[in-house]
Amino acid sequence: MNYHRYYPVDVVNGPGTRCALFVAGCIHKCQGCYNKSTWRPDSGKPFTQEVEDKIIADLKDKRIHRQGLSLSGGDPLYPGNVAAVLKLVQRVRAECPGKDIWAWTGYTLDELDSEQMAVVDLVDVLIDGRFVEALKDANLVWRGSSNQVIHDLRKERQIPKQEVAAPVVRADLPAGVPAAQKAQTRVAALSVQRCDARASSSRQPEASGCDQLSLGFSL
């Protein structure tokens, strides 16, 4: 796997101060994507053991508290990335208890295969769906277009299977999100058009919400 940027201190891609990794490789090629340089899986730099170890060390660093790790790109669930991403999130779970993991993908949950789901099973919050330029909304929190869905998988895993209906927008965001952002997302979620827009459009594959910039230091 290759990656484009690693931010050991990031305050944009998810709640709180975080580590954020932007990987290379995306098949979706969404119209309006501002991160086209991440589409090619051989772009960027090799994701080495040294980089993986640094992410774990940064998450453990008590001098700067990180709430968790954010994975974007590119697409962390691009087939060529799955093995390396799985190894990383397994280490976060084993070595960094209490840290949450957020991930952005152009796939929808119902499009994922078993290998991709092995990663998702270790993720706390997944933002899924392609970026649709016609549905772009700068007021959205952590999403680039209104068809994309924020799944709080921690809550969804607690729902008995017989109670799970058709996919819905999760307008109630995880703990730790500022109240103003929660209110903004609830309002935005009311206008989401989930399935029809996805069927006819492609997605933007980058940073948190697919239309935000990362703040912090990069590696």
b vs e for 113-152, b when ≥16 Cβ sit within 10 Å of the residue's Cβ?
eeebebbbebbbbbbbbbbbbebbeeebbbbbbbbbbbbb
Q: Which of 36-40, 69-73, 151-155 has the highest mean pLDDT?
A: 69-73
In a domain, 22, yes or no: yes
If one compares 159 and 7, the residue with the highest pLDDT of the two is 7
Inside any domain, residue 35 = yes
Report in angstroms the alpha-carbon separations of 104 from 6, 19, 49, 133, 165. 15, 14, 23, 17, 23
pTM: 0.73
User: Does pLDDT of 209 surpass 70?
Assistant: no
Flag whether 150 is in a domain.
Answer: yes
Which CATH number fits the domain that encloses residue 74?
3.20.20.70
Q: Is residue 9 part of a domain?
A: yes
Q: What is the pLDDT of residue 32?
A: 86
pLDDT of residue 182: 44
**Residue 123 confidence class, pLDDT cut points 50, 70, 90:** very high
Residue 208 located in a structural domain: no
pLDDT at 122: 97
Confidence at 219, pLDDT banded by 50, 70, 90: low
pLDDT tens figures, 55-64: 999 999 999 9
Task: Flag whether pLDDT at 200 surpasses 50.
Answer: no
Residue 218 is assigned to a structural domain of this protein: no
For residues 200-211, give the mean pLDDT: 39
Domain for residue 177, yes or no?
Answer: no
Give the pairing type, strands 125-128 and 149-152. antiparallel
Domain extent for 12: 2-155
Q: Tell me the per-residue pLDDT of 62-88, one tens digit each, with 9 for 90 and over.
A: 999 999 999 998 999 999 999 999 999
- Please say if the pLDDT value at position 187 is more than 60: no
User: At 203, phi and psi to the nearest 5?
Assistant: -115, 150
SS3 24: coil
102-106, 166-170, 174-178, 189-193, range with the lowest pLDDT = 189-193
Whether residue 15 is predicted with pLDDT greater than 80 in this model: the reply is yes
Number of folded domains in the chain?
A: 1
In a domain, 219, yes or no: no
pLDDT for 25 beyond 70: yes
> Confidence class of residue 175 from pLDDT cuts 50, 70 and 90?
low
